[in-house]
Amino acid sequence: MATSITASSAAPNVFASTPQFTRPTFLMCPPEWYNVDYVLNPWMAGNVHRSSRDLAFAQWKGMHNVLRSVADVRLLHPEPGCPDMVFVAHSALIHNGVAALSSFNPQQRRAETAYLRRWLISQGFILWETPRETPFEGEGDVAFNDDGTSLWAAHGVRTCRAAHRHIADAWHVPVTSLHLSDPRFYHLDTCFTPLASPTGEATGYILYYPQAFDAASNAAIERAYPANRRIAVSELDATHMACCALNLGRTVFTGEITRELATRLFDAGFDVVQLELSEFIKGGGGAKSLALRLSDLPITHSRLGLLPIS
């Protein structure tokens, strides 16, 4: 059974009963009820009821098939009334068997947390609840660095800055707060994703869109990552959700990106898998938002033998 813990009692690594994973493991939620039903972000504006569920299902299945070939993928049952539940990565942030549960800012997404909570309990995760008054949107706004020793957390749109310390306390790790300054990049995962070093070196890479952050945030990013480890994307790639990338070992799963960015990633040693995700971009999401990581970091650096599928 999962246990709820409070901020002062966290000692996550000592809970032997939490799930143990032998392979990278993710949770996905089929887009059975997916639709752009309301507007929560600028990407959804103009797309209300303009997404195709059939195409969304085909695109989701495409990602599910590729991810399943290199990782365990568990499924969360989709629920009516939760059209954004397919973006399951926003419902929690997980590490070492501890799940920090989201407290969604938009009322339209709040019901999703209860469904994920129930599933996590059934799997034996320890729950770290977040207060309603300080919204926090899971992997949408908070990311571990590639080896799981520190956090980057965004505020300015959805997640509240006051939530950052509380989330970091779940694992006793340092957290760096970043301020989002462009409404198109309303979640951290739309413009910033830490990548593991494909060659196993200590320092990983950062895939990001610098213009989405204020000057102080850019300075913090530059202190953490030397220039040759910063992969700054163009506005064109950023607006195709290139930064909303799922990194597994040396492989980067993302949407359709420019040849220039693909070459930059390739030159750094990454294999790039480009996925067609147009229906989810209409809702404001990309590859990373469709899969919630359940297993721990770092993810082993192996060549996955995948070829781009588009």
Chain residues that interact with ligand ARG, rule: CB under 6 A: 40-41, 44, 84, 87, 90, 109, 140, 187, 189-190, 244, 283-286, 289
Please identify, using beta-carbon distances, which residue of 99 and 244 lies nearer to ligand ARG.
Answer: 244
Q: Which two tokens stand for residue 272?
A: 């790039």
To ligand ARG, the closest distance from the beta carbon of 158 in angstroms equals 7
**Torsions phi, psi for 228 (to 5 deg):** -75, 0
To ligand ARG, the closest distance from the beta carbon of 83 in angstroms equals 8
Please identify, using beta-carbon distances, which residue of 87 and 171 lies nearer to ligand ARG.
Answer: 87
To ligand ARG, the closest distance from the beta carbon of 9 in angstroms equals 31
Residues 54 and 74: their CA atoms lie apart, in Å, by 21
To ligand ARG, the closest distance from the beta carbon of 37 in angstroms equals 9
Please identify, using beta-carbon distances, which residue of 2 and 261 lies nearer to ligand ARG.
Answer: 261
Please identify, using beta-carbon distances, which residue of 52 and 123 lies nearer to ligand ARG.
Answer: 52
Spatial neighbors of 37 by CB under 8 A, at least 6 apart, are: 48, 49, 83, 108
To ligand ARG, the closest distance from the beta carbon of 85 in angstroms equals 10
Please identify, using beta-carbon distances, which residue of 44 and 101 lies nearer to ligand ARG.
Answer: 44
**Integer angstrom CA distances of residue 80 from 115, 284, 291, 310:** 11, 20, 19, 31
The residue of the chain with the least Cβ separation from ligand ARG equals: 285
Residues 104 and 89: their CA atoms lie apart, in Å, by 12
Helix (H) or strand (E) holding 281, with range, is helix 278-281
Which residue(s) pair with 142 in the sheet? Answer: 153
